[in-house]
Structure 1
Amino acid sequence: MRRPNRAPPTVAKEGPRTNDEIRNAQIQLIDAEGVNQGTVETMVAIKMAMEAGMDLVEISPNTSPPVCKIMDYGKYKYSAQKKAAEARKKQKVVEIKEIKLRPMIDDHDYDVKMRAMQRFFEEGDKVKITLRYRGREMAHQEIGTKLLDKVKADVAEFAKVEQDAKFEGRQVVMVLAPR
């Protein structure tokens, strides 16, 4: 059995319509110098753009008549790409770093973890502190609570508590965010 002949689906073009893609009979024209020329026939506007060695680009298609401008479309596309790349460069993705502690942590180990935490806050990341209890440590949860209070006090100047300490099975989780 043969499949019926179907035209391939039309590919939606990125960006504004240019030159012959503008289907409206009349447009609001802005020339290359940025001067509003008023309502003009589309064919006349395309001819004016060709004579200037530029393109007719649709700026706002949803108005009636649509606003079009005579400009170098290649340059316009290039500058738009540059702007988008610059915006992406300035974005900072906030990560959640995890620090794992035990209730009976030694002083030096605690200091090392605190330095790592401070570095994470300086980089603008959040820190998730996981305090894990093993075996009979569950009977002495006050030791873990004191440890978490000490952490809160030590980071108070450069971080704030975003999610207070809460139990998840045999561990306590607390999330801190940079100030």
Structure 2
Amino acid sequence: MIQADKVRVIDENGENIGVMYTQEAIEQAADLGLDLVEVSPNADPPVCKYLDVGKFRYEAQKKANAQRKTQKTQDIKEVKMRPNIDTHDYDVKMRNVHKFIDNGDKVKVTLRFRGRELSHQELGMNLLRRVQTDVEEIAKVEAYPRMEGRQMLMVLAPK
């Protein structure tokens, strides 16, 4: 409900009609089949606009849905390795890491230790440092290497 006795009115095309009595503006809006909506209540006089509220809500909903569709959800892709990985296998895994990061996804690099490999965690740490230096131009480390049970994890995020 508009409290002021006089308001500045803007039509549906955004053009300034001028200052008029509130009751007169409400009647004009009704004649046009529109609603009178207070846009800026703190202005002197308050600014009101002729709007079709139903259409306005519909378009706002449509715009929000379109924005939600274009938004890309960021996935976490996982690349699993072993601490004593061969060079060619490492290159293939790194190609996948590059592809995932270029697509805008986060990458979780997992090193799984088996048997006595667990006593040589420094090999795993060296491998994860190597991964980190190989992708430092395109990715940043989001979670630094840490042990979780029998595996060592590191999370990379696109820059």
**TM-score in same-fold range (> 0.5):** yes
Q: 1:137 maps to what in 2? A: 117
| Percentage of pairs with the same residue | 52
1:59 CA drift (Å): 2.6
8 A Cα contact 2:143 2:155, kept in partner? yes
- Which deviates more from structure 2 when the two are superposed, residues 52-61 or residues 143-152? 52-61
8 A Cα contact 1:28 1:40, kept in partner? yes
> Deviation string for 1:50-97 (max 9, x for gaps)?
222322223346779764311333442343233323332342322222
In structure 2, which of residues 82, 90, 97 is the aligned counterpart of residue 117 of structure 1? 97
Correspondences of 1:1-179 after superposition (within 5 Å)? 22=1, 24=3, 26=5, 28-32=7-11, 33-35=14-16, 37-38=18-19, 40-41=21-22, 43-60=23-40, 67-179=47-159
The letter for the 2-side match of 1:44 is: E
1:127 CA drift (Å): 1.0
1:49 CA drift (Å): 0.6
Q: CA RMSD in A?
A: 2.7
- Which deviates more from structure 2 when the two are superposed, residues 151-160 or residues 53-62? 53-62
Give the whole-Å Cα distance in 2 for the aligned partners of 1:90 and 1:66.
37
Number of equivalenced pairs: 157
Give the whole-Å Cα distance in 2 for the aligned partners of 1:140 and 1:72.
71
Give the whole-Å Cα distance in 2 for the aligned partners of 1:66 and 1:100.
63
TM-score by length of structure 1 reads 0.71
The letter for the 2-side match of 1:129 is: V
Q: Give structure 2 stretches of 5+ with no counterpart.
A: none
Tell me: CA distance 1:60–1:92, structure 2 relative to 1, closer, same or farther (3 Å). Answer: farther
Give the whole-Å Cα distance in 1 for the aligned partners of 2:106 and 2:20.
55
TM-score by length of structure 2 reads 0.78
- Which deviates more from structure 2 when the two are superposed, residues 155-164 or residues 57-66? 57-66
